[in-house]
Amino acid sequence: MLKSILKRLGIVILVLVGATALVFFMLHYIPGETPDVIARYIFIGNIEIEPSNEAVALISQYYDLDRPLVVQYFSWLGEALQGNLGMSYKTGQPVLDEIVIRLPATIKLAVVSILVSLIIGIPLGIVAAIKQNSILDYICSTGAVIGVSIPNFWLALLLIMVFSLYLDLTPVMGSGGIEHMILPSITLGTGMAAVTARLTRSSMLEVIRQDYVRTARGKGLPEITVVVRHAMKNALIPVITIIGLEMGHLLGGTVIVETIFAWPGIGKLLIDAISQRDIPVIQGCVVFITIMYVFVNLIVDLSYSIFDPRIRYER
């Protein structure tokens, strides 16, 4: 077990190095003259005005941009491993501080959204499976396809329109109490709930045909006991994977949802940094998002062996 965890951790670290390199080269290589871009966006604040050559040279020297890109990347990586992600071009603050302040908000939103999706998705999936090919199943399945197809930013606008503007029940945006969480978490949870419902249904359909379920029924147990105690417990194991698989969508979704609802998380920070071309901040946000993504998937993989003793990572 320990050996497999260590092996997985090694792969995770390699992937992290690869992903940060990918983003680093994308950000630094494609725009051409990075110091020129920084001068226009950050210091002049107007992309139309051409910066003077001295200014460009000064910026290039100050931010160490005059060295070869590979050298720049490894010096960034070396600093990053010691917990220094550089300074924001815009504010001059350490990037790590800016991210750490915003991280809890994003994690809170993500966790609540996952809960919302499980609370909606699992019961719907189970009901659809038990009543297979009934009207109820049909409605759940169609609802799930619609849930996957609905753009989350549009859903957010619809929710704001109905619950904030028309019914005046929830605040339009911002953060604070529980009431601020409702709309963003429903927005993010809906798409995931649809996927959860589909997976629960198909996994439940498989389990329900197993011999031990038939045995339980044969013993004369009430249907509810059979479903909850015997079938559901086993059917929900694959559903854990959803949390890992959907983490990517979730983190992508937080970027949009945080922007719409002015939620002070890491997604909003990333969007602001992109529009200001604040490269160290973009880089830092991506590092954190990748770490969250990769580690959640690692935990999900490992938790599998706890929930399902048949799977052990011994190899």
Partner 1 sequence: MTLRFKQNKLPGKRSIYLLKHKSVAIGSTLIVMLAFLAIFAPYLTPYDPIEVDLYNNIQSPSWEHPFGTDNLGRDVLTRVIYATRIDILASIFIVGISMIIGISIGIVSGYYGGVIDKVLVGMMDTFLALPEIILALVLVGALGPGLFNVTLALSLLGWVKYARVSRGLALSIKEKEFIEAMKAVGVNDFYLLTRHIAPNTISPLLTLAALHLGHAILSLAALGFLGLGAQPPMPEWGAMLNEGRIFLRGGWWLSIFPGLMIMITVLAFNFIGDGLRDALDPRMKEVVIK
Q: What is the rounded distance in angstroms from the CA atom of residue 27 to the CA atom of residue 31? A: 7
Under the criterion CB under 8 A, does residue 19 sit at the interface with partner 1? yes
Q: What is the rounded distance in angstroms from the CA atom of residue 214 to the CA atom of residue 129? A: 16
Q: What is the rounded distance in angstroms from the CA atom of residue 158 to the CA atom of residue 152? A: 10
Under the criterion CB under 8 A, does residue 249 sit at the interface with partner 1? yes
Q: What is the rounded distance in angstroms from the CA atom of residue 294 to the CA atom of residue 15? A: 9
Site for partner 1 in 118-147 (CB under 8 A): 145-146
Under the criterion CB under 8 A, does residue 22 sit at the interface with partner 1? yes
Nearest distance in Å: CB 160, partner 1: 6
For partner 1, which is the closer residue by CB, 58 or 271?
271
Q: Which stretch binds partner 1 (CB under 8 A): 128-136, 152-160, 176-184, 306-314?
A: 152-160
Q: Of the candidates 109, 236, 243, 289, which one interacts with partner 1 according to CB under 8 A?
A: 289
For partner 1, which is the closer residue by CB, 152 or 234?
152
Among residues 159, 233, 232, 164, the alpha carbon closest in space to that of 189 is found at 159
Under the criterion CB under 8 A, does residue 77 sit at the interface with partner 1? no
CB 227 within 8 A of CB 130: yes
Under the criterion CB under 8 A, does residue 149 sit at the interface with partner 1? yes
Nearest distance in Å: CB 114, partner 1: 15
Count CA atoms closer than 13 A to 188's CA, side-chain side: 33
Q: What is the DSSP string of 131-172?
A: TTTSHHHHHHHHHHHHHHHS-HHHHHHHHIIIIIIIS--S-S
Q: What is the x/- site pattern for partner 1, positions 156-175, by CB under 8 A?
A: -xx-xx---x----------
Q: Mapping DSSP to helix (H, G, I), strand (E, B) and coil, where does residue 94 land?
A: strand
Q: List residues near partner 1 by CB under 8 A.
A: 11, 14-16, 18-19, 22-23, 26-27, 29-31, 145-146, 148-154, 157-158, 160-161, 165, 247-249, 251-252, 255-256, 259-260, 270-271, 273-275, 277, 282, 286, 289-290, 293-294
